[in-house]
């Protein structure tokens, strides 16, 4: 029997990146993009690496450089390795019995890399769900909240990447999710996905893309936070307030208010990270939409722009504006 698991990409609607700083966020899943894992019993424990994401042969140096910019230095291999290692440790720590059987695992992902859409966390959760099913661990043994925490520990403990719970929570719970990290324990609430208006997504071409992991983007601000920097703490609280107010705007169907909060979220983020931290492409991606009157922000750490859409007639104008700058534009659907 082949076990198949699928986890969608996520878009941070409001509040990011305050999830890493005891804030509040709202996120939703993107139906168009997902990571998928297939696992089955086999004589040896085997990882079937992806021919595109985990390449070892290249036409020339230029092809190699393009591949590294697109997929990083390690592709998804280290993510799968780290997930399996952390899963084994977690089960031993919790006293969860594992089958004495080997498996073969392979994966597929159409989530654009380096665009802040939770591609790595989607792969981690897809792999964890496959491992849980393969070892016949009951669903009640690992709650959705625990699954999110386990997925986060793969990247923070095994890979040493600065990350927050936002991606893992919405990908574990699914749908449109409100997350409050301000108390002693995080609180999560599923919202009605029908509250969501239409959104677009813009991102660079492969030629424009630079390889930059989100953990490196977060590192300087994280250090300032841990040192008690008042400006970081004040601005993060304001970013978190965008999510709190945005939940009510969604409930009321107040897209005008939602748009103002989206713009404010991005402006506050830029105040903390500056132009160098935000990245030239990120700022330009957002400004292309804003210059046409569309609210926009980063859906994650950077690399793409999430755009609140209005009239369909103006969407063509938006797509043409991005195309003229060499960017890609797509309309997305919530999962």
pLDDT at res. 212: 42
pLDDT at 213: 43
- Write a three-state SS string for 121-138: HHHHHHHHHHHHHHCCCC
**DSSP letter for each residue of 229-272:** -HHHHHHHHHHHHHHHHHHHHHHHT-HHHHHHHHHHHHHHHHHH
State the pLDDT at residue 167: 93
- What is the distance between the alpha carbons of residues 61 and 253, in angstroms, rounded to a whole number? 51
Please classify residue 274 by burial: count the beta carbons closer than 10 Å to its beta carbon, then call 0-12 exposed, 13-18 middle and 19+ buried: exposed
Structure confidence at residue 92 (pLDDT): 96
Q: Are residues 39 and 125 in the same domain?
A: yes
DSSP conformation letters of 58-92: -SSHHHHHHHHHHHTTTTTHHHHHHHHHHHHHHHH
Q: Do 208 and 140 belong to one domain? A: no
Strands 102-109 and 46-48: parallel
**pLDDT recorded at residue 63:** 80
Averaged pLDDT, 104-112:
93
Spatial contact of 213 and 78, defined as CB atoms under 8 Å apart: no
- For residues 39 and 185, membership in a common domain is answered with yes
Of 172, 192, 212, the residue that ends a domain is: 192
Above 70 in pLDDT, residue 214?
no
How much of the chain, in percent, has pLDDT values that exceed 70? Answer: 93
Q: Of these residues, 19, 54, 167, 263, which one is catalytic?
A: 167
Mean pLDDT, rounded, of the chain? 90
> Do both 222 and 102 map to the same domain?
no
Question: In the predicted model, what is the mean pLDDT of residues 276-301?
Answer: 86
Is residue 132 domain-shared with residue 242, that is, in the same domain? Answer: no
Query: Domain total for the chain?
Result: 2
Domain end marker among 162, 192, 222: 192
Residue-wise pLDDT for 226-274, tens only, equals 888 899 999 999 999 999 999 999 999 999 999 999 999 999 998 888 7
- The full DSSP string for 189-236 is EEE-GGG---EEEEE--TTT-----HHHHHHHHHHHHHTT-HHHHHHH
Q: Is the confidence at residue 66, as pLDDT, over 80?
A: no
Per the structure, the complete domain to which residue 28 belongs is given by 3-192
Largest CA distance in the chain: 59
Range scoring the smallest mean pLDDT among 5-14, 78-87, 201-210:
201-210
pLDDT in the model for residue 313:
72
Q: Which residue has the higher pLDDT, 291 or 58?
A: 291
C-alpha–C-alpha distance, residues 102 and 121, integer Å: 24
pLDDT bin (cut points 50, 70, 90) of residue 65 is confident
pLDDT at 211: 41
Report the Cα–Cα distance between both ends of the chain, in Å, rounded: 27
Q: Which CATH number fits the domain that encloses residue 248?
A: 3.30.70.890
pLDDT value of position 206: 67
**Closest Cα partner for 319 from 301, 292, 279?**
292
- Same-domain status, 223 and 297: yes
Active-site residue flag, 254:
no
Q: Say what the pLDDT of residue 209 is.
A: 62
Q: Are residues 39 and 152 in the same domain?
A: yes
Mean pLDDT of 173-186: 94
Q: CA distances (Å), 58 to each of 51, 72, 182, in order?
A: 11, 14, 48
Confidence check: pLDDT of 207 > 70 = no
| Cα dist from 66 to 58, 69, 216, 312, whole Å | 10, 5, 20, 35
Residue 221's pLDDT is: 84
| Closest to 190 measured CA to CA, from 180, 199, 202, 177 | 177
* 76 Rama sector, left if φ>0, alpha if ψ -120 to 50, beta otherwise: alpha
Q: Which phi-psi region, left, alpha or beta, contains residue 139 (left: φ > 0; alpha: ψ -120 to 50)?
A: alpha
Q: How many CA atoms lie within 13 A of 42 on its CB side?
A: 14
Same domain, 32 and 164: yes
138 and 206 assigned to the same domain: no
**Burial letters 140-161, b for 16+ CB under 10 A, else e:** eebeebebbbbbbbbbeebbeb
Of 89 and 62, more confident? 89
- Note the pLDDT of residue 145: 95
Q: What is the CATH number of the domain that holds 161?
A: 3.30.230.10
Residues 81 and 16 in one domain: yes
- Residue 231 sits in the same domain as residue 115: no
Instruction: Pick from 178-187, 204-213, 309-318 the range whose average pLDDT is largest.
Output: 178-187
Q: Mean pLDDT throughout 194-202?
A: 96
Is residue 155 domain-shared with residue 235, that is, in the same domain?
A: no
Give me the long-range contacts of 93-96 (CB less than 8 A, separation at least 24): 94/141, 96/135, 96/137, 96/141
pLDDT of 210 above 60:
no
Q: Among 139, 173, 192, which residue terminates a domain?
A: 192
């Amino acid at each position: 029997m082949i076990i198949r698991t699928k986890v969608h990409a996520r878009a941070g609607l409001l509040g990011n990146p305050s999830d890493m700083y005891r804030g509040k966020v709202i996120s939703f899943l993107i139906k168009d993009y997902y990571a998928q894992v297939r696992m089955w019993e086999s004589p040896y424990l085997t990882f079937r690496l992806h021919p595109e994401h985990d390449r070892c042969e290249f036409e020339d140096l230029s092809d190699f450089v393009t591949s590294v910019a697109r997929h990083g230095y390690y592709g998804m291999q280290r993510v799968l390795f780290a997930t399996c290692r952390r899963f084994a440790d977690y089960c031993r720590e919790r006293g969860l019995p594992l089958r004495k059987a080997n498996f073969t695992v392979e994966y597929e992902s159409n989530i654009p890399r380096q665009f802040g859409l939770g591609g790595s966390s989607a792969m981690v959760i897809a792999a964890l769900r496959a491992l849980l099913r393969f070892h016949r661990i009951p669903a009640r043994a690992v709650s959705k909240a625990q699954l999110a925490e386990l997925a986060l520990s793969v990247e923070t403990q095994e890979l040493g990447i600065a990350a927050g719970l936002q991606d893992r929570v919405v990908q574990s719970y699914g749908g449109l999710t409100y997350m409050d990290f301000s108390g002693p324990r995080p609180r999560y609430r599923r919202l009605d996905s029908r509250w969501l208006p239409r959104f677009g997504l813009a991102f660079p071409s492969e030629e424009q893309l630079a390889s930059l992991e989100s953990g490196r983007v977060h590192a300087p601000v994280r250090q300032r936070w841990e040192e008690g920097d008042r400006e970081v703490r004040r601005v993060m609280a304001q970013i978190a307030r965008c999510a709190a107010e945005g939940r009510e705007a969604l409930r009321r169907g107040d897209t005008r208010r939602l748009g103002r909060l989206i713009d404010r979220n991005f402006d506050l983020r830029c105040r903390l990270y500056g132009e160098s931290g935000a990245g030239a492409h990120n700022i330009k991606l957002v400004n292309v939409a804003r210059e046409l009157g569309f609210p926009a922000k980063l859906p994650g750490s950077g690399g793409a722009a999430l755009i609140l859409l209005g009239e369909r007639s103006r969407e063509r104008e938006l797509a043409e504006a991005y195309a003229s700058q060499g960017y890609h534009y797509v309309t997305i659907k919530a999962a």
